[in-house]
Copies of this chain bind each other. A is one copy, B any other.
């Protein structure tokens, strides 16, 4: 084997992982998996994909070394192969946001309105400090299972769909900080709008759980 061929073979290997990141549906799946392991069917329904397609993408991701699977009864749970995969995903998003102007437009279409207004965002250190001082209420608006897989200590789990119900009993006027999966997760944006519309002071945590964990900040798992 020539030097050239050996070099190609090596870069071919790196490209295997690159291929995993080269499709929007696969990125959606990775994004979901960054919150904890999930079954194929659950991934398919959230990502809006057919089952066989989802299965195929997951096998592609496994081939790329980005995910691994575990059998539990009839279910097969997929998960990221490591923390570093989440970091890679976050960096891809960050670099893409910096260099592709279309992302801002697509993001504001998806997340709604004035996404870029930083006045509504709290950074991680501020949240940490204020929740420890008991000055704020932290709301985790992801689905319950994701909350159980890991959340910010002290956060209350209120899945977005239960927010209205929660508000009915929420007479407190403390400030609320809302978070969800990560940088481009829509849940917290929606929640902040709902909270503000019903007269509460609410802001969104900058980014979300993925980046919180990557920053090495404390994570609690199980029920609140």
Contact = CB atoms under 8 A, between A and B. Distances in A.
A53 B75 CA distance: 45
B11 A28 contact: yes
Interface string A53-74: 0000000000011100000000
- Mostly, the A contact residues are helix
A15 B22 contact: yes
Nearest to A10: B106
Contact of A15 (B1, B9, B10, B27): B27
A82 B91 CA distance: 13
A74 B109 CA distance: 41
* Oligomer: number of copies: 2
A219 interface: no
Interface in A106-147: 106-107, 109-110
For A3, A19, A95, A107, which residue has the most chain B Cβ atoms within 10 angstroms?
A95
A19 B17 contact: no
25 contacts: A3-B186, A6-B110, A7-B28, A7-B110, A7-B186, A10-B107, A10-B184, A11-B25, A12-B24, A12-B106, A13-B106, A14-B96, A15-B23, A17-B95, A17-B100, A18-B23, A21-B22, A65-B95, A65-B96, A65-B100, A81-B99, A82-B99, A84-B98, A85-B95, A88-B92
